[in-house]
Amino acid sequence: MKKVYPDADAALEGLLFDGMHIAAGGFGLSGIPELLIDALVRSGVKDLTIASNNCGVDGFGLGKLLDTKQIKKMQSSYVGENAEFMRQYLSGELELEFNPQGTLAERMRAGGAGIPGFYTKTGVGTVIAEGKEVKQFGGEDYILEEGIFADLSIVKAWKADDTGNLIFRKTARNFNPPAAMCGKVCVAEVEEIVPRGSIDPDHIHLPGIYVHRIIQGPHEKRIEQRTTRKREEA
């Protein structure tokens, strides 16, 4: 099975349709699938439901899909840093399903493992629990959360071989693996594709069984918030 594609547009060909559910990897702006997001913008696909830790920033990352009004609903755990997100949500243009961060990651992981739901204590007694089934374990309340089963996963890794085995770097490892697992089809963009067999099996973070298509390309890797201190005079 040939998994390496020449570019993002080719890798997404035949996979997109209006109203689809997409799981997107990344944490803040770290490890986001920049090239695949740009290809989604060019495709014009609309009414998307996107499960992702956040929605990028104004004009970058998933924020580009907000600018073009292609997102109908976000399933997120953090919604700061994006004025357009706030504007669309407050005006009723954008739906939001808010999740505690660990719950969102576990919902993706559960979907990838074929688990339709799980109970968690996180969110009990808050608005997160509204309308959800509550069950007691050991005399304490837990709420039922559903696994996320996406039509498509888009993720960004540091390195891959041509069979789709992936290695992530640092913070990019937070949401990319579970996001990759929960889609019917997973497309990964990487910085480097290495020969088959050159990756130590113990270093593989996500096995290629989860990855269907791969592209390689340059990445901007924008810093979300740059904080510096004044230089001390000698």
pLDDT tens across 5-37, in order?
999 999 999 999 999 999 999 988 889 999 999
Render pLDDT for 67-105 as a digit per residue (tens, 0 to 9): 999 999 999 998 877 899 999 999 999 999 999 999 999
d(CA 210, CA 153) in angstroms, rounded, equals 10
Characterize 50-68 residue by residue with b for buried, 16 or more Cβ atoms within 10 angstroms of its Cβ, and e for exposed: bbbbbbbbbebbbbbbbee
CB 92 within 8 A of CB 65: no
Report, at the CATH architecture level, how domain 8-110+147-216 is classified.
3-Layer(aba) Sandwich (3.40)
d(CA 117, CA 110) in angstroms, rounded, equals 7
User: pLDDT over 90 for what percent of the chain?
Assistant: 85
User: pLDDT over 70 for what percent of the chain?
Assistant: 99
pLDDT of residue 49: 98
The model's confidence at residue 226, banded by pLDDT at 50, 70 and 90, is confident
The pTM is what?
A: 0.91
Render pLDDT for 199-215 as a digit per residue (tens, 0 to 9): 999 999 999 999 999 99
How far apart, in Å, are the Cα atoms of 190 and each of 106, 109, 138, 173, 177?
24, 21, 45, 13, 13
Residue 233 has pLDDT above 80, yes or no: no
Residue 144 has pLDDT above 80, yes or no: yes
The model's confidence at residue 218, banded by pLDDT at 50, 70 and 90, is confident
Helix intervals (H) in the chain: 8-12, 34-43, 63-67, 83-90, 101-112, 176-181
- Mean pLDDT, rounded, for 121-147: 96
pLDDT of residue 95: 96
- Mean pLDDT, rounded, for 100-113: 96
Among the listed residues 139, 147, 142, 146, the one whose alpha carbon sits nearest the alpha carbon of residue 129: 142
Two structure tokens written together for 199: 């990756």
Helix intervals (H) in 4-62: 8-12, 34-43
pLDDT of residue 234: 60
Domain range list for the chain: 8-110+147-216
